[in-house]
Structure 1
Amino acid sequence: MKKFLISFIAFLVLLSTSVCANAHGWRGGYGGGWRGGWAPFAAGAVVGAVVAHSYYRPAPIYYGPPAYYYPPQNVAAFCPENGLYYPQTQACPSGWQRVITN
């Protein structure tokens, strides 16, 4: 809806500047020419900049939730049946025991 409204306003501004430029009519004949000045071109440039800005706006930046830092816990897995910790043995039939190390 916003883009349509901006485009419609731009159309009305361009239409009004062209009507104002042609208000004095064509100074016809073989030696005459259009003497509308620079106003319609300036208005067109301004309206063009507004329309281009409305269509080519940069994407919004979204920030994620803050990352919380959890220090590594000193926990190891101990197998009481083998008497070994996890890296030394891969299986523990009786179940692993968590041990807090310092």
Structure 2
Amino acid sequence: MKKILVCLLTGVMLAGLATSASAHGGRGGYYYYGGHGGGWRGGWAPFAVGAVAGVAVANAYYRPAHVYYAPQYAYPPQPQTAAYCPENGLYYPQTQACPSGWQRVSY
């Protein structure tokens, strides 16, 4: 809501400045006296300048929030273990069965 309000207020202020400056300096617009009364014909340029300036000011004012990443902690490595068969004297890949039961051995 705040962003829209700032955009709108900035655009209206800059458009007002552009039209009052153009009315006094005669930079592209003209004042006519016609059948339905007089009026200033300046075109859409002052309003476009005001809208672009309003968007630029609002985008400069409102930035996205910074993203902070949590630090990565290095955990100690898990001990390496293997299955050993004391009856055969072999480890798991070399023998597939162990009648007396497997022993966990860390290395």
Bin for the TM-score computed over the shorter chain: 0.5 to 0.7
Kindly indicate which of the two structures has a greater share of residues assigned to strand.
2
The reply on whether 1:10 has 2:40 as its aligned counterpart is no
- 1:31-42 matched pairs, under 5 angstroms: 34=42, 41=49
- 1:56-67 matched pairs, under 5 angstroms: 57=64, 60=67, 62-63=69-70, 65-67=72-74
Supply the distance in 2 between the matched residues of 1:8 and 1:83 (Cα, whole angstroms): 81
Q: Can you give the 5+ residue segments of structure 1 that lack an aligned partner in the other structure? A: none
Supply the distance in 2 between the matched residues of 1:51 and 1:94 (Cα, whole angstroms): 77
Taking a change above 3 Å as real, the CA distance of residues 10 and 62 of structure 1, as seen in their structure-2 partners, is: same
C-alpha displacement of 1:86:
1.6
Q: TM-score, normalised by structure 2?
A: 0.52
Taking a change above 3 Å as real, the CA distance of residues 46 and 63 of structure 1, as seen in their structure-2 partners, is: farther
Q: CA RMSD in A?
A: 4.0
Taking a change above 3 Å as real, the CA distance of residues 95 and 10 of structure 1, as seen in their structure-2 partners, is: same
- 1:47-62 matched pairs, under 5 angstroms: 47-52=54-59, 54=62, 57=64, 60=67, 62=69
Supply the distance in 1 between the matched residues of 2:99 and 2:54 (Cα, whole angstroms): 78
Taking a change above 3 Å as real, the CA distance of residues 65 and 13 of structure 1, as seen in their structure-2 partners, is: same
C-alpha displacement of 1:61:
5.0
The reply on whether 1:81 has 2:87 as its aligned counterpart is yes
Q: Can you give the 5+ residue segments of structure 2 that lack an aligned partner in the other structure? A: 34-39
Taking a change above 3 Å as real, the CA distance of residues 5 and 74 of structure 1, as seen in their structure-2 partners, is: closer
Alignment coverage as a number of residue pairs: 92
Secondary structure at 2:100 match in 1: coil
C-alpha displacement of 1:15:
1.1
